Structure 1
Amino acid sequence: MTQIPRYHNSLPAGPDAPVCAGTGRERTQGAPRGSTASIKCTVEAEPAENIRWSWIRKRTDGTEEEVPDEDVRVDGLSSSVLVTPHTPEDYGRFLCVASNDVGEQREACVVTLVPAGPPDAPTNCSVSPADPSTVHAHPTSAALTITCLEGFDGGLPQHFTLETWQDNELIDNMTSMFPEWVVSGLRAGVGVTLRVAAHNSRGRSDALRFEVHTASAQHHAAPGTVKGGDGEKREERETGMCGCVCARFSLLFNPL
């Protein structure tokens, strides 16, 4: 019996000099003063053996220096350096270049080290009725879908929270790795207050507050700054979801 050879959709990869792994060659990393951060670069290369590394450090004061080999750690296709920033000048950019037997990396991978801090508030949030087929809710209750875009994470891993209030009562408090939620079991015809915030190990962002109401009109308003009754500054806008809900939301600034 003759065995039929198997063919693959992709051809074997040819030899290549290293390139930065992932979707981009530049990223930002945060580190508090006095703490040690591991700055890491990862590449893709063929062959993947005998990878050699060089690092350049560009401080914020404009000085530039090569990182000594004894400070560079190598683990196959990854390399890292340990940095402990003590002054503002210790932050800046780290450029790493790898090479193999084929050649040297054409474009350096770049990591920008910044002072770590609380994350920025999520942006471009929208509120819309949830798809009834995906929500198990009573026919007389309401359900909403809330989606936002992530802001800058402060240089640290972040997560997001959503508080849901009706009649000054906390209905739900949800946490997610992404700023996307579905809230169900809401009393229909009753105003809903939603508070969205981002968190990391350095603190919480300003909170974005939504005042949601059932409506048939579609509203849009330009951003503006107003004073709340409690004296806190708010960046306030209105947005509308066609024929179903309209949401008025405020950015509540954390006190300094």
Structure 2
Amino acid sequence: MVTFKIECLTCTGCKVVVRLLLSPKTIVVSRLSANCKDSWHVMSCGVADAPSCRSSGVSVVGAARGESVVIVCEVDADPPAAVFKWKFNNSGETLDVAADRYTSNGSASSLKYTPVADLDYGTLSCSASNEVGAQLAPCVFQMVAAGKPHAPRNCTLWNQTAESVEVSCVAGFDGGLPQRFLLEVYSDSAVPRVNLSSDEPSWTVRGLEWDVRHRLVAVAFNSKGRSAPARLDDVLFRDPEKRTGWWLSPLNTITRHLSTIINSPLKHTSAGTRL
């Protein structure tokens, strides 16, 4: 909806907001004082909107039994929202949430919610209204029973070269919430030298020092915290030059012995010629 701010030219302070637009060139002006009917002009105009949810889609909120969470419902509205209302729905019924359980301002409403039984998990919805009208589609929050995720399992190392190694695991239970995965690389301290995060439990590790034994730990995490660690086999990258020297040393020894035999003078005896 388009709004106009009107200024009266024949008196001071005679301003009115007009909310009716008949066409791009025609507006209907109402509530003007009698001495301002024929002497006014438009100072400014803008767009007024009923509230709408700031985030799209359904937001997933996880909480364990007895755990309190604060759910924030944010809306875009011009003018600001005057009234917020919350509802709760599970498979059995829809209930209005008492107004004293949430606080609101012009752009957001906050509800503190504590599930204590299975029936307390379901859908919370929030809607607002202002001078323009009521919110058409509510903001929706899906309450789920949630906790920390389980550790990744069946972790393996493969495709190891002198420079890198591939790490793959199988994801465990996500705890009821979206989870991500983290691979930590340790050497000689309790602080990880490398942290690699991923949406899937697979990583490529590269750029580590040669001839240093590295310990790998894989974990899953969500908004409730980290899983227990999944321990992997240690990784050791050999220095290519040292590995080359290890192979060449015996070969050089054999070559020297052969050279000595081939180049040694022949010895003659009465039984014939022999080395």
TM bucket, shorter chain = 0.5 to 0.7
Residue in 2 that maps onto 1:102: 132
Pair 1:43-2:66 in alignment: no
Relative contact order higher in (CA < 8 Å, ≥ 6 apart): 1
Structure 1: distance between partners of 2:46 and 2:194: 45
**Counterpart pick for 1:116 among 146, 160, 184:** 146
Question: Are 2:119 and 1:89 equivalent residues in the alignment?
Answer: yes
Residue 118 of structure 1: SS of its match in structure 2? coil
How far apart are 1:55 and its partner, in Å? 0.8
Deviation at 1:64, TM superposition (A): 1.5
Percent same amino acid among aligned pairs?
33
Residues 102 and 156 (structure 1), Cα distance of their counterparts in 2 relative to 1, 3 Å cut: same
How many Å apart are 1:97 and its aligned residue?
0.8
Q: Of residues 45, 48, 56 in structure 2, which corresponds to 1:15?
A: 48
Q: Distance in 2 between matches of 1:105 and 1:17?
A: 6
What is the TM-score when the length of structure 2 is the normalising length? 0.50
Output aligned runs, 1:61-72, within 5 Å: 61-72=91-102
1:233 corresponds to which residue?
none
Displacement of 1:74: 0.6
In the alignment, is the contact (CA less than 8 A) between 2:148 and 2:226 conserved in 1?
A: yes
The SS at the match of 1:119 is: coil
Deviations 1:100-139 (A, max 9, x none): 21221111111111112123678xxxx9x9xxxxxxxxxx
What pairs up with 1:24-63 in 2 under 5 angstroms?
A: 24-47=56-79, 49-59=80-90, 61-63=91-93
Which residue of structure 1 lines up, in the alignment, with residue 227 of structure 2? Answer: 204
Alignment size in residue pairs: 184
Please tell me whether the aligned partners of residues 32 and 115 of structure 1 are also in contact (alpha carbons under 8 angstroms): yes
Q: Distance in 2 between matches of 1:206 and 1:171?
A: 15
Q: Please give the alpha-carbon distance, in whole angstroms, between the structure 2 residues aligned to 1:182 and 1:77.
A: 46
Aligned residue for 1:185, secondary structure, equals coil
Are 1:162 and 2:186 counterparts?
no
**SS of the residue 1:76 aligns to:** coil
Query: 1:161 deviation in Å?
Result: 2.7
The aligned counterpart of 2:241 is none
The aligned counterpart of 2:247 is: none
Cα contact 1:159–1:176 (8 A) shared by 2? no
More helix by share: 2
Give 5+ residue unaligned stretches, structure 2: 1-44, 238-275
Bigger strand fraction: 1
